[in-house]
Amino acid sequence: MARITIEDCLRQIPNRFMLVNMVALRVRQIREGSEYLVSSPKNEDVVVSLREIAAGKLTLRPESDQADAETVEGMAALEKVESMMAVNQDVEAGIESDERETDAKAKKEE
């Protein structure tokens, strides 16, 4: 049987990051009991998933409105985390300046 290559899969799914996510999702489905979509005896689940994608048995489908809503919620959460990180960086900068002032005062007292 011919070896499967990533290039075969990239013809079906042009984005390699999406390909990795699809393979990971399909491996989980197979391990939870989903049937193989291609005949591939004695192969690892990852190889079976790659073979299914290369054969065109798995494809991308357009995102639904629900996915768009989840994306918006995810972006809002990301912005909140980023703002918290910015506040945390400001606090750390303030602590560093306080430490420098304390060090400077200690040197003057010596």
CATH fold of 1-61 reads Eukaryotic RPB6 RNA polymerase subunit (3.90.940)
pLDDT given at position 50: 92
What digits encode the pLDDT tens for the residues 51-95?
999 998 888 776 555 455 555 566 666 666 566 555 545 555 555
pLDDT given at position 98: 60
Q: How do the domains of the chain map onto residue ranges? A: 1-61, 63-110
In b/e form, how buried is each residue of 19-42, taking b as 16+ CB within 10 angstroms? beebbeebbeebeeeeeebbebee
What digits encode the pLDDT tens for the residues 27-49?
999 999 989 999 888 889 999 99
